[in-house]
Chain A
């Protein structure tokens, strides 16, 4: 009987992928809760890593008819000292021996790993993402050149020598072009040979020479040129400025809204660019560049001067991110308070320095929890920005109160941007 041995290792794996996705869809509410919790604890950059989440298993179990209680009989191995008729004290309910005791609630949560995409999708989904594919960012592209095989025509500078030579060789072999050694051998023989052979040899040599002439070493049909084509190439790097007002009036809720907005922007940019830098700038009446931890959680208080943050951003752009090389994005979150005298300075900084070099500038006005965004009176900053926008500055602004508003606002901002571009061009 022949035994069949099959190597299945190369079969596509992840047969469970679809089942896994169904499970995630099914457990979406549970998993989403877990993702939300874990993204609150995460740094912006870690959002893209995917990661472990715990899901309560009892929300996902499959019911069966099961029994419990009653009298139980069990046969166990390992008797050491018992004799028939012994009464054993009943162990405490929790430490019960025997089968099934305490089973069932032993695994009330289980942790599993979400892939990067699953995590981001669920994360974005939490923000009520309607359809990722419909998002359209005004993408800045530049022409790039890439190799695109070979062609039979082109400029001499682009002749591919190796390709040409190898084609020529193939042709010479195929057409049996005599090699120089063959000719040399015959000629050597010609030096000293009999007369009869001599005639023969001369004829052969003649034939060879004719053939060599007929079949050139390199024929024009051998020549190949390297072909290039131009492709639109996304600019490879972007920098994102997170500007946040941290004066005393910013509550934790507001910072959380801002953080979510920044995360979204980061995820969004990260999917578009190979390399994304983040600069965190917080400001009171003076601005400083800080790390993420300090940005969101560091205690700071003081007056408010928005221009300080704008000035800081401008300085950083000038020293570290040349606008020719970098796509510059900025998102500013604030509760909208600003000192009256600062408006003029901020406006000038924006119009002259920042907006001309930025791809996109978003202003997010964060409000109190449970507030209604359309009921918020226009703040100092809002009025200022609205004035700028009326003059045609590429600036988008929104008010946000609730976490659930983050995504729609985000979506809106980017829609608006592309429309503006279209009208501008």
Chain B
């Protein structure tokens, strides 16, 4: 075989035969050499416009209709046209089969990179990471989205677009508070979920008998009799999953409104692992594409020119501007993740004394892929950083920790830098920035005044003095009150229980009229 026979492709052009060849070759490297374990792959080639479409509905191929997706589309299209934003090279969906979208404009090298990155890197991560295993249902998601789309359309036909839009707006506003943070007894099974919704609807229709409305009821036990503790227990209080609470207990919601809340909640839950694993997920995909591309070059399947083209894109992706660079906007998850994965590979294969002291479990173990596969499966961003950020990497990034206390007149304190005294503190603080428990405000339903005016009471536990922004909070509470149909109050209090601020929202009668 001559050298040219080995090449996957030449130049920048590709066709579907080339793609197939690229996939097969990448698969050999990924599965046989790196030992990755992936869902079946489905590669879809799409145009730039379709990519924008997919963008605007959180990357999902089918989604229910809602104006905010149109807004995102208009927004993204505008910035794309102005050249402010390039399109992502790829979108990948956590489903089985794992669907990766490639843009037709990409060169052959880029297609190879994207396939290695998405179809093997992300795919492996989706299939093996514990959070995804626990929280997402890759087999069911596409069917469930199809169901959600049909269901929303069905509701629009039956109850009017306005009413549906209003419910969805309210649900979207509470989306980040529609998540169970701790694994329950059963994992998500979206197929069963869809069947259940259908059955319940059918049952309601079959069992509907208007006569029941006229049957005189017995004497209702006064809720005041139930003691406070018991009542709170029955309502499942305190409850931080606001959407779940409303779905189950909001007194005046129609069944279809409850189902809509449920759909939004399931989708929020589905995306929950993604938000906790940005660094790891992108790091994994980047590390995997880097390994695969290097191997292909080594095997003589990529020309030097193509490999240089790849390196250029790769370098752009993992570029981390420093804090005083105008381009700086926080940590680049690709850069951080990739650097940590590479560092782990080094620690495993070629450790120095410092590494042996810091990482006795993995230093010098020899099999980098085995260690990485284990890490990919069992960590999320916060635990990953707090376990595997090495002093060498902190020096490499020249990390430092700032503590900004508004009370402190003198300015902002440099609390730790990349030195012996600072490593552990730096690592802890950085990990904290990725702790979801810390990122979202801690808001819970604490009680319902059942004896009185049925007011729903919420509490925001203020951490480090950060209070809710007023305008947004009022608007979210308005949505909440509309769903609850009675007054809603929110109290902000600090750890000592001192009340800092109180909001009250009254329901508009829109949702009731619907």
Q: Which A residues are closer than 8 A to B by beta carbons?
A: 1-9, 11, 13-16, 18-27, 57, 60, 62-80, 82-90, 97-99, 110-113
- Indicate if the CB atoms of B415 and A84 lie closer than 8 Å: yes
With A82-B414, A85-B414, A98-B402 in contact, do A66 and B469 touch (Cβ < 8 Å)?
yes
- Closest-by-CB residue of A relative to B175 is A64
A98 to B430 Cα, complex, angstroms: 14
Q: Is B400 an interface residue (CB 8 A)?
A: yes
Most chain-B Cβ atoms within 10 A of its Cβ — which of A14, A23, A72, A75? A75
Q: 4 more A-B contacts (CB under 8 A) besides A4-B40, A9-B46?
A: A23-B74, A78-B398, A85-B414, A99-B329
Per DSSP, chain A at the interface is: loop
Within 8 A of A (CB), among B22-54: 23-24, 27, 31, 40-47, 49-50, 52-53
Residue numbers in B under 8 Å from A72 (CB-CB): 402-404, 464, 466
- Indicate if the CB atoms of A65 and B78 lie closer than 8 Å: no
- Closest-by-CB residue of A relative to B104 is A9
**How many whole Å from B453's CB to the nearest CB in chain A?**
24
Residue numbers in A under 8 Å from B78 (CB-CB): 110-113
Residue numbers in B under 8 Å from A75 (CB-CB): 399-402, 426, 429-430, 433
Q: Is B119 an interface residue (CB 8 A)?
A: yes
With A69-B406, A75-B400, A98-B404 in contact, do A112 and B52 touch (Cβ < 8 Å)?
no
A271 to B155 Cα, complex, angstroms: 37
- Indicate if the CB atoms of A79 and B417 lie closer than 8 Å: yes
Within 8 A of A (CB), among B308-366: 320-325, 328-331
- Closest-by-CB residue of B relative to A57 is B75
- Indicate if the CB atoms of B413 and A87 lie closer than 8 Å: yes
With A8-B45, A22-B67, A64-B176 in contact, do A73 and B472 touch (Cβ < 8 Å)?
no
Number of residues on chain B facing chain A (CB within 8 A): 101
Q: Is B70 an interface residue (CB 8 A)?
A: yes
- Indicate if the CB atoms of A5 and B324 lie closer than 8 Å: no
With A70-B406, A87-B413 in contact, do A65 and B401 touch (Cβ < 8 Å)?
no
Residue numbers in B under 8 Å from A69 (CB-CB): 406, 465-467
- Indicate if the CB atoms of A113 and B81 lie closer than 8 Å: yes
- Closest-by-CB residue of B relative to A52 is B78
Q: Hey, what's the 0/1 contact readout for B406-427 against A, CB within 8 Å counting as 1?
A: 1000111111111101100010
Q: Is B172 an interface residue (CB 8 A)?
A: yes
Of A8, A60, A77, A82, which is within 8 A of B50 by CB? A8
- Indicate if the CB atoms of B53 and A13 lie closer than 8 Å: yes
With A8-B50, A15-B53, A82-B417 in contact, do A67 and B402 touch (Cβ < 8 Å)?
no
**How many whole Å from B336's CB to the nearest CB in chain A?**
9
- Indicate if the CB atoms of B43 and A6 lie closer than 8 Å: yes
Q: Is B432 an interface residue (CB 8 A)?
A: yes
With A5-B16, A64-B173, A87-B412 in contact, do A79 and B418 touch (Cβ < 8 Å)?
yes
Residue numbers in A under 8 Å from B469 (CB-CB): 66-68
Residue numbers in B under 8 Å from A83 (CB-CB): 414, 417
Q: Is B195 an interface residue (CB 8 A)?
A: no
- Indicate if the CB atoms of B400 and A82 lie closer than 8 Å: yes
A57 to B74 Cα, complex, angstroms: 11
Q: Hey, what's the 0/1 contact readout for B349-388 against A, CB within 8 Å counting as 1?
A: 0000000000000000000000000000000000000000
- Indicate if the CB atoms of B404 and A67 lie closer than 8 Å: no
- Indicate if the CB atoms of B397 and A77 lie closer than 8 Å: yes
- Indicate if the CB atoms of A23 and B71 lie closer than 8 Å: yes
- Indicate if the CB atoms of B417 and A7 lie closer than 8 Å: no
- Indicate if the CB atoms of A73 and B24 lie closer than 8 Å: no
Residue numbers in A under 8 Å from B415 (CB-CB): 73, 84
A62 to B417 Cα, complex, angstroms: 39
Of A5, A14, A78, A113, which is within 8 A of B322 by CB? A78
Residue numbers in A under 8 Å from B101 (CB-CB): 8
With A6-B43, A110-B75 in contact, do A22 and B405 touch (Cβ < 8 Å)?
no
**How many whole Å from B389's CB to the nearest CB in chain A?**
10
- Indicate if the CB atoms of A9 and B50 lie closer than 8 Å: yes
Of B329, B418, B464, which is within 8 A of A71 by CB? B464
A86 to B245 Cα, complex, angstroms: 48
Of A13, A26, A63, which is within 8 A of B67 by CB? A26
Of B97, B426, B432, B467, which is within 8 A of A70 by CB? B467
**How many whole Å from B261's CB to the nearest CB in chain A?**
16
A19 to B65 Cα, complex, angstroms: 6
- Indicate if the CB atoms of B169 and A62 lie closer than 8 Å: yes
- Indicate if the CB atoms of B323 and A22 lie closer than 8 Å: no
Residue numbers in A under 8 Å from B471 (CB-CB): 63
Of A14, A62, A70, A111, which is within 8 A of B172 by CB? A62
Residue numbers in B under 8 Å from A26 (CB-CB): 67, 165
Q: Is B468 an interface residue (CB 8 A)?
A: yes
Give the contact stretch, choosing among B184-192, B218-226, B473-481, B506-514.
Answer: B473-481
Residue numbers in B under 8 Å from A70 (CB-CB): 406, 462-467
With A5-B16, A13-B47, A84-B422 in contact, do A22 and B66 touch (Cβ < 8 Å)?
yes
Residue numbers in B under 8 Å from A22 (CB-CB): 65-67, 70, 165
Q: Is B271 an interface residue (CB 8 A)?
A: no
Residue numbers in B under 8 Å from A5 (CB-CB): 16, 19-20, 23, 42-45
**How many whole Å from B413's CB to the nearest CB in chain A?**
6
Q: Is B289 an interface residue (CB 8 A)?
A: no
With A65-B472, A87-B410, A90-B411 in contact, do A3 and B23 touch (Cβ < 8 Å)?
yes
A99 to B434 Cα, complex, angstroms: 13
> What are 26 sample pairs from A and B whose C-beta atoms fall under 8 A apart?
A8-B46, A13-B50, A13-B53, A14-B49, A23-B67, A25-B67, A26-B67, A63-B473, A63-B475, A64-B173, A64-B175, A65-B177, A68-B467, A70-B463, A71-B405, A72-B464, A75-B400, A76-B323, A78-B328, A80-B398, A83-B417, A88-B402, A90-B412, A98-B402, A99-B329, A110-B74
- Indicate if the CB atoms of A85 and B413 lie closer than 8 Å: yes
Of B43, B74, B104, B331, which is within 8 A of A77 by CB? B331
Residue numbers in A under 8 Å from B298 (CB-CB): none
- Closest-by-CB residue of B relative to A72 is B404
- Indicate if the CB atoms of B56 and A19 lie closer than 8 Å: yes
- Closest-by-CB residue of A relative to B335 is A77
Residue numbers in B under 8 Å from A9 (CB-CB): 45-47, 50, 104
Residue numbers in A under 8 Å from B473 (CB-CB): 63, 65-66
Residue numbers in B under 8 Å from A63 (CB-CB): 173, 471-473, 475-476, 479
Residue numbers in B under 8 Å from A97 (CB-CB): 323-324
- Indicate if the CB atoms of A73 and B401 lie closer than 8 Å: yes
A399 to B320 Cα, complex, angstroms: 67
- Closest-by-CB residue of A relative to B119 is A3
- Indicate if the CB atoms of A74 and B47 lie closer than 8 Å: no
- Indicate if the CB atoms of A4 and B41 lie closer than 8 Å: yes
**How many whole Å from A414's CB to the nearest CB in chain B?**
32
A113 to B322 Cα, complex, angstroms: 36
- Closest-by-CB residue of A relative to B385 is A75
User: Nearest 8 pairs between A and B by C-beta?
Assistant: A78-B322, A23-B70, A70-B465, A70-B466, A19-B70, A63-B475, A76-B323, A22-B67
Q: Is B288 an interface residue (CB 8 A)?
A: no
- Closest-by-CB residue of A relative to B115 is A3
Q: Is B69 an interface residue (CB 8 A)?
A: yes
A64 to B69 Cα, complex, angstroms: 16
Residue numbers in B under 8 Å from A111 (CB-CB): 78
**How many whole Å from A93's CB to the nearest CB in chain B?**
11
**How many whole Å from B137's CB to the nearest CB in chain A?**
21
With A64-B173, A64-B176, A113-B78 in contact, do A1 and B52 touch (Cβ < 8 Å)?
no
Q: Is B113 an interface residue (CB 8 A)?
A: no
- Closest-by-CB residue of B relative to A111 is B78
A144 to B234 Cα, complex, angstroms: 79
Residue numbers in A under 8 Å from B465 (CB-CB): 69-71
A25 to B464 Cα, complex, angstroms: 42
Q: Is B443 an interface residue (CB 8 A)?
A: yes
Residue numbers in B under 8 Å from A88 (CB-CB): 402, 411-414
- Closest-by-CB residue of B relative to A60 is B71
Residue numbers in B under 8 Å from A23 (CB-CB): 67-71, 73-74
With A75-B400, A111-B78 in contact, do A20 and B45 touch (Cβ < 8 Å)?
no
**How many whole Å from B52's CB to the nearest CB in chain A?**
7
